[in-house]
Amino acid sequence: MRYLVDFDLFVIGGGSAGVRCARIAAGHGARVGVAEERFWGGTCVNIGCVPKKFMVMAAEYGAGADDARGFGWDIAKRGHDWATLIAAKDKEILRLNGIYRRLLDQAGAKIFDARATFIDEHTLDVGGKRVTAEKIVIATGGHPTRLDIPGAELGIISDDAFYLKEMPKRIATIGSGYIGVEFAGIFAGLGAETHLVYRQPLPLRGFDEDLRGGLAEAMSANGILLHPDTVPTSVVKENGAYHLALSDLSVLEVDLVFFATGRAPNVRGLGLEKIGVETGRLGEILVDQSLATSVPHIYAIGDVTDRLNLTPVATAEGHAVADTLFGNNPRAVSLENVATAVFSIPPIGTVGLTEAEAAQRGPAKIFLTRFTPMRHNISGRARKTLMKLIVDQETDKILGAHMLGEDAPEILQGLAVAMKAGATKADFDRTIGIHPTAAEEFVTLRTQTRVVGEVSSAE
Ligand code: NDP
């Protein structure tokens, strides 16, 4: 078979998952082709994690300038120049973009700047050219979606937010998932009147309740106008402004409506139905443990499978598939205890079970602390840090670690390692802290706040 086809592996999509898979497979000696129709590095590098984080940093500098006054600095804040930020961000993204392409080139993969679609199980149309491959990996990612309400097309999605010509003065962000709360923080930090409209009582459904409550308070303290338990019903443009009607019958007048209402897998037009690759309700490609689709030589990795839509998961999946197929090292990626961060202001870092999830499994001890971080005792900013450990009452194992506060994502990465290694609360207690840091609180939490969850009747 090997020399009857053009490639041993063809990867559709040059995002985090696809690039890693193609690069590692080529390194294992496979003849690899990879196609990308938009930009190398995909969502994360171009219109996601990376530029978003630069924008969060920009927003934080403004508050930092205010905070510095308490420390004796006389900083005159004369406003923020959006065009400077976007130009600096674009320059850096272009650099990263080039790195992704070069990495593939250096690994020996053949690069196609084109769209690839299935002709049959082993044949693809790649920019009008017929290409055959023994194995095919689909790594096409996802795209943001708008709500189905009148005037929705007048609003933007996260793809557009990175290229706005100017910073809106008034903005309504709809949805309180990762993207909604992150962009609300960015726009509020850069000085816009910012509304966050969401249908839950608290933002970030699925996260630990204490984090959700703490984040709502922090967002209010940052001046974000929260509209919980509310859904938008229509958008109308009038006299250059947008009128966003809400289910509580109020109408917000803003300069920008931003739909952060979820993402959907990119499967349209790939020709999956033709070759029998099974998809779920939202179009997500269904995969087994080894990331194989219903067609055994075709794999799917990253956001197109809509499982845990995080870049590091996507790259890990790409790597695992390449090792399995060409590195003589079959392995799967565990989606258990994957740490994640929300770059709200302040940010969230979280790993493991929420209190509610732990309580369903059996009795768990909760350790919780809220304090004013050192810097804000002098800056005067009303900002609290929240830290929480959830501990299995029976085994003493740490089931969940959660933090809302400055540096939370940096701190949680280390805790995620400890949890992967099966750390117990006793291990945390015998660890000596680094002083003076916020992180040391995680190893000095001694007072149990409460016990949750029932002892199962079988015991
Ligand atoms: P999410 O799925 O996280 O959030 C979608 C939001 O839209 C929720 O608040 C949801 O409400 C709301 N929503 C959905 N449908 C409706 C509706 N019909 N009416 C009203 N509200 C609605 O999506 P995001 O767009 O924020 O992000 C997509 C994914 O991208 C994330 O889940 C994450 O996996 C990834 N991501 C990760 C980041 C990171 O790691 N820092 C950053 C950005 C994205 P409800 O909660 O009630 O369903």
Nearest partner of 96 among 159, 44, 52, judged by Cα: 44
Q: Could you read off the pLDDT of 88-109 as tens digits, one per residue?
A: 999 999 999 889 889 999 999 9
CA 52 to ligand 1: nearest atom = 42
Read off the pTM: 0.97
What is the pLDDT at residue 455?
75
**pLDDT at res. 44:** 97
- Among candidate residues 261, 276, 300, the one where a domain is terminated: 261
The CATH code of the domain that includes 233 is 3.50.50.60
Cα of 387 to ligand 1 centre, how many Å?
24
Together in a domain, 167 and 205: yes
Asked if residue 337 is part of any domain, the answer here is no
Task: DSSP letter for 224, please.
Answer: -
Write the CB contacts of 81 (distance below 8 Å, at least 6 apart in sequence).
Answer: none
In a domain, 104, yes or no: yes
10 with 132, same domain: the answer is yes
Shortest-distance Cα residue to atom 46 of ligand 1: 205
Mutate to test the pocket of ligand 1, among 149, 261, 338, 340 (most ligand atoms within 8 A of CB): 261
Residue nearest to atom 25 of ligand 1 (CA): 262
Do 114 and 26 have their domain in common?
yes
Beta bridge partners of 132: 123
Look up tokens 């804000």; give the residue. Answer: 376
Same domain? For 256 and 273 the reply is no
> Does 435 qualify as catalytic in the annotation?
yes
- Based on the domain organization, do 54 and 11 belong to the same domain? yes
| pLDDT score recorded for residue 4 | 87
Residues 122, 297, 376, 435: which is the catalytic one?
Answer: 435
- Please report the pLDDT score of residue 459 as a whole number: 46
- My answer on whether 138 and 271 are in the same domain is yes
404 within a domain of the structure (yes/no) = yes
Residue 457 resides in a domain: no
The CA 114 to ligand 1 mean position distance, Å, reads 29
- Ligand 1 site-directed mutation target among 44, 179, 204, 257, most atoms within 8 Å of CB: 179
Which of 261, 284, 305 is a domain's end point? 261
CB distance 188 to 222 below 8 Å: yes
- Residue 339 domain flag: no
Show the tokens assigned to 232. Answer: 């938008």
Low-confidence ranges of the chain (pLDDT < 50): 1, 459
Q: Does any domain span residue 12?
A: yes
Atom of ligand 1 nearest to the CA of 260: 25
Query: Which atom of ligand 1 is the closest one to the Cα of 340?
Result: 40
pLDDT in the model for residue 456: 61
DSSP character string of 389-445:
EEEETTT-BEEEEEEESTTHHHHHHHHHHHHHTT-BHHHHHTSPP-TT-SGGGGGT-
Q: Say if strands 129-138 and 7-12 run parallel, antiparallel, or are unpaired.
A: parallel
Query: What pLDDT is attached to residue 3?
Result: 61
Together in a domain, 27 and 121? yes
Atom 23 of ligand 1: nearest residue by CA position: 262
Q: Do residue 107 and residue 76 come from a single domain? A: yes
* DSSP tag of 223: T
| Cα torsion 159, 162, 163, 169: sign | positive
For atom 45 of ligand 1, the residue with the nearest CA is 205
Q: Which atom of ligand 1 is nearest to the CA of 342?
A: 41
Residues near ligand 1 (Cβ within 6 A): 144, 147, 175-180, 182, 198-200, 205, 231, 260-263, 309-310, 340-343
Looking from the CA of residue 145, the nearest atom of ligand 1 is 25
157 and 251, same domain (yes or no): yes
CATH number of the domain at 355, please: 3.30.390.30
Among 414, 118, 422, CA closest to 271: 118
Task: Decide which of 220, 241, 261 is a domain's last residue.
Answer: 261
Number of domains in the chain: 3
Q: Judge whether 441 lies within some domain.
A: yes
* Neighbouring C-beta atoms of residue 231, cutoff 10 Å: 16
| Residue 156 in domain | yes
Q: Are 190 and 275 part of one and the same domain?
A: no
Tokens (6 digits) for 16: 């985090």
Going by CA atoms, what residue is nearest to atom 38 of ligand 1? 178
Q: Which residues pair with 285 in a beta bridge?
A: 279
Distance from residue 423's CA to the centre of ligand 1 (Å): 31
- Is residue 136 domain-shared with residue 277, that is, in the same domain? yes
Asked if 224 and 289 sit in the same domain, the reply is: no
CB atoms under 10 Å from CB of 271, counted, come to 15
Strand partners, 263: 144
Nearest partner of 186 among 63, 70, 270, 284, judged by Cα: 63
Q: What distance in Å separates the CA atoms of residue 24 and residue 239, rounded to the nearest whole number?
A: 54
Domain containing 239 equals 152-261
In 3D, which of 362, 356, 431, 443 has the Cα closest to residue 395?
Answer: 362
CA distance 299 to 121: 12
HEC secondary structure over 49-77: HHHHHHHHHHHHHHHHHHHHHHHCCCCCC
Q: What is the pLDDT of residue 454?
A: 81
